[in-house]
Amino acid sequence: MDPISRLGLEYQCIFLPTRICALTDKANMMHSLEARSPLLDPSVTQYANNLPTNWKLRGGIGKWLLRRYMLGRLGARVAHKPKQGFTVPLGKWLRAELRPLAERFLTRDAIVSGGLLNANEVERLWQEHSKGRRNNYKQLWTILVAQMWQHRVLGL
């Protein structure tokens, strides 16, 4: 078995059941939902595992055969779209429901009192984000959680 196929098999046997599928199942059960992953059907995975590697990965493009098959059915925009996980809309929430919380902990005074971050940089990130010029939610969420932790644990 070639290294790419071996890596794929390890992913199927270790990472999928212990992380991806387990977490998806818990999240679905929490909301009384049933979810199925059609590409994890045993007959589909057995077929895919037996395909030549250059049908799975070609020119650095993963799922090459599946993308080629879908190209004529869904179009290039969908078939060539990069892999994307499900995320909560934190960017939108920071501009709406979570805005009061963000404005409380991302102020210049709050950042300066924490003493860890560059207040000018945080202010720039927040201004760009809150005005809709850029979606800086990843950086801002991390900063917001750190600020809230400092406030709660260190009493800042």
Report how far residue 52's alpha carbon sits from residue 41's, in angstroms, rounded to the nearest whole number: 19
Per-residue model confidence (pLDDT) at position 55: 92
Angle 42-49/3-10 helices, nearest 10 degrees?
Answer: 160
Q: What angle do CA 74, 77, 80 make, to 5 degrees?
A: 95
User: Mean of the per-residue pLDDT values for the chain?
Assistant: 91
Q: What is the pLDDT of residues 33-56, one digit of tens each?
A: 888 888 889 999 999 999 999 999
Assign 135 to helix, strand or coil.
coil
CA distance linking residue 74 with residue 67, whole number of Å = 10
String of DSSP letters for 42-65:
HHHHHHHHTS-HHHHEETTEETHH
Residues 6 or more apart whose Cβ sits within 8 Å of residue 99? 130
Radius of gyration of the chain (CA): 22
Confidence of residue 74 (pLDDT cuts 50, 70, 90): very high
Q: What is the predicted pLDDT for the residue at 93?
A: 95
What one-letter code names the amino acid at 14?
I
pLDDT of 20: 86
Cα 74–8–82 angle (5° rounding)? Answer: 35
**Does 115 score more than 90 pLDDT?**
no
Determine the pLDDT at residue 120. Answer: 95
The per-residue pLDDT for 112 is 93
pLDDT tens, 125-155? 999 999 999 999 999 999 999 999 998 888 7
Give the three-class secondary structure for 72. Answer: helix
Angle at 2 (CA atoms; ends 20, 37), nearest 5 degrees: 25
Bridge partner residues of 58 (DSSP):
61
Q: Give dist(CA 40, CA 47) in Å, integer.
A: 11
* Percentage of the chain exceeding pLDDT 90: 65
pLDDT for position 1: 86
Structure tokens at 73: 């059915």
Domain residue limits, the chain: 1-50, 52-84, 90-154
Instruction: Say if residue 75's pLDDT is above 90.
Output: yes
With a pLDDT cut of 70, the percent of the chain lying above it is 100
Asked whether residue 85 carries a pLDDT value surpassing 80, the answer given is no
